[in-house]
A = this chain, B = another copy of it.
Amino acid sequence: MNGTGTAAEDRVFAALANATRREVLRLLRERGPQPVQALADHFDMRRPSLSEHLKVLREAGLVSERRSGRQRLYRLEAAPLADVQDWLHPYERFWRERLKGLGDLLDRMPDDERS
């Protein structure tokens, strides 16, 4: 039924369901790998809380850490986002067809329907 596993998909979507964590991903995307403190400086939040967000991202596979002296550099790992795009694929025709105004026609096709 699933290649990645349902629990893994849950973790990725749940990790993305938080503005702070999406912002962390954006920072890593735009600035490259960052230590925790550099990330924490951008949020109105204590560092331990950000550490917990990083843990959620790590367990979802969205970031990796590399120790460098007393710092830990967090790096964006985009593979789970590629999985999200794959997951979206079968839905793509729905929003494309809807834009062309074919949605109502489609509604009647698989089931008895009217609009």
- Chain A residues within CB distance 8 Å of chain B: 6, 9-10, 13-14, 16-19, 22, 25-26, 29-35, 38, 66, 68-69, 71, 73, 75-76, 78-79, 81-82, 84-85, 88, 90-92, 94-95, 98, 106-111, 113-115
A106 lies within 8 A of B32 (CB): yes
Q: A17 to B19, Cβ gap below 8 A?
A: no
Smallest CB separation, A16 vs chain B (Å): 4
**Which 4 residue pairs spanning A and B have beta carbons closest together?**
A32-B110, A78-B94, A13-B17, A32-B111
Q: Is the interface of A mostly helix, strand, loop or mixed?
A: helix
22 A-B pairs, CB-CB below 8 angstroms? A6-B19, A9-B19, A10-B17, A14-B17, A16-B17, A26-B90, A32-B107, A33-B111, A34-B111, A76-B91, A78-B91, A78-B94, A78-B95, A78-B98, A79-B95, A81-B88, A81-B91, A81-B94, A81-B95, A84-B84, A84-B88, A88-B88
